[in-house]
Amino acid sequence: MELIMNKISGTFLIGEVSKKLGIHDQTIRMYERKHLIKPQRTENKTRIFSKKDILKINIIITLTQEIGLNLSGVKIVFSLSKKLKMSDDELLDFIYDHKNEFQI
């Protein structure tokens, strides 16, 4: 992922994230409204995304677009991964390793 990172804080703006991931800004905002992600905010209320936030969005995209889950299903996957104490990297690896088994 070659995003333009804020050199001081290591964060990205929503437009940079949406462009690189190929999704609309509103999609990212919806993920936040559904409590799937929680980006930090500046004093001016601007969303700023860490690399971890971007990985989480990538997981959501994988689960919805490649596997066919709806956002309720994504919430369940996130809940289970948290209970199993899986990192986001481990979760993404697991999803790709078992992707064919998930096909609906």
Give the integer Cα–Cα distance in Å for 80 and 44: 34
Q: Which residue has the higher pLDDT, 40 or 97?
A: 40
How far are the Cα atoms of 57, 67, 94, 97 from residue 101, in angstroms, in the given order?
Answer: 22, 9, 11, 9
Residue 56 banded pLDDT, cuts 50, 70, 90: very high
Query: Residue 58 has which token pair?
Result: 């990538």
- Domains in the chain: boundaries: 12-102
| Secondary structure, 3-state, the chain | CCCCCCCCCCCEEHHHHHHHHCCCHHHHHHHHHCCCCCCEECCCCCEEECHHHHHHHHHHHHHHHHCCCCHHHHHHHHHHHHHCCCCHHHHHHHHHHCHHHHCC
Residue 45 banded pLDDT, cuts 50, 70, 90: very high
Average confidence score pLDDT of the chain: 88
User: Domain 12-102 carries which CATH code?
Assistant: 1.10.1660.10
Residue 92 banded pLDDT, cuts 50, 70, 90: confident
Is residue 102 over pLDDT 80? no
Query: What pTM value is reported for the model?
Result: 0.82
Give the pLDDT of residue 8: 47
Residue 12 banded pLDDT, cuts 50, 70, 90: very high
